[in-house]
Every structure is written in C-alpha cells, then in structure tokens.
Amino acid sequence: MNPRHVDGVEYTSFPVDMTGIGIQLSEYLQRLYDSGVQKDRILFNSLSTLLMYSNLQTVFRFLHVFTGRVQSASALRLFVID
C-alpha cells in the first residue's frame, strides 16, 4: 500500500532501513533550511515499529544520531510509541 502524498510528510519503505531514514531526514531538513523555514517540527511515527524489526541497542544508536540532526536544525521533536 502506498501512502498518499502530503506536502511536508516523508515516508520510508522499510522500517529496518534506518540508514535510509537518516538520509531522508537530512535531505528533508536541508530542503527546509534552503526554503527559509525556521520553525521545524519532526514527528516520528512510530518508534514501536522500529523496535519490532530491530534490537533495542540498534534503535537507541539510530535515535541518538537522529535526535542530534533534528536538534542541530533547532526543530521540535516528537516521537510516538504505541
């Protein structure tokens, strides 16, 4: 199932592709910066999905890098756990 396109929303194909998620995040934050957006909000929906497909330590390391990138962009971070 393909999610419908919504401006400002990015999707990933596989929850285990944390490298791809990180790359998409970096590209997205760069596009926002280039367009002059100064108040970013990043919603990660859902951490539960990552935890179902990967071990806790791998998810923790990924989130450490992920939150660092979002923090460097001075964006608000919101994570969902089901």
Mean pLDDT of successive 10-residue stretches along the chain, which has 82 residues = 66 81 88 85 87 92 92 88 86
From start to end of 1-82, where are the E strands? 41-45, 76-80
Using an 8 Å Cβ cutoff, are 18 and 62 in contact?
A: yes
47's tokens: 């951490």
State the virtual CA torsion across 38, 15, 80, 39 in degrees, nearest 10.
0
pTM: 0.77
CA 70 to centroid of chain Cα atoms: 9
pLDDT at 44: 87
**Percent composition of the chain: helix, strand, coil (DSSP 3-state, to 5):** 50, 10, 40
